[in-house]
Structure 1
């Protein structure tokens, strides 16, 4: 009888600690943002927005060309990295952010990397689901739109 109860408890523990893995693939999301100003002014403003929003050391501006009006960077959407006594896991999820500017208009395109969402029944809030990823992308786009349509006081 003790063996049956022990086996039942062990199997219940293993089942409750079950890990789910869900592949996530999100198409690039773009938005055209009308903004007052010349191409040069909007380029500087877009570059400043990236500097202010890319706060993590893993988020970097990778390419910028003022004449072409393009700023491209790699943005850390979620840092699921961790280490234990046995392993180091890099669970970082990135997106490529591309901003194009021209006189009176801008376009932002965010392309999240494909990843696998890992979940656990013990900690369901820690899973970075597709819905959470889309929210991060849309919040970033909203932030860009607000920034580009805000007047900047020149010194």
Structure 2
């Protein structure tokens, strides 16, 4: 569970980004294996299970950010040529300037088990039909879109 200090640090980071960037852009990946299991991560600084992802850095494409974030957060090497863009979302829960690009990646390799570090407490695969308790509302909604062949919503 995220501490008060960790939540304040995250809010502080968003304030810095608000001043230094016109908008913030993040990327998430629905990394789904042949058995319809999805990779989810649990951060050390915020509650819940999330799709792997993070911020797109200046000069970096969203797809390059996805590749980097999946490697860093879950020890997963995705095939960028096979990643499919699912949607582009407005994320008002982070700020009034945040957007998230969501890709679906079904071609990938797990490089090694992900060991806990300062940012990631845990990374694991779960059946799409049996997500773990604590999976965020947005993660549930995005996976329901993907599994049901539904168009993406406008908001994360």
Normalising by the smaller structure, the TM-score range is under 0.3
Higher Cα Rg, which structure = 1
TM-score normalised to structure 1 length: 0.24
Q: Indicate the structure with greater strand content.
A: 1
Q: Indicate the structure with greater helix content.
A: 1
TM-score normalised to structure 2 length: 0.24
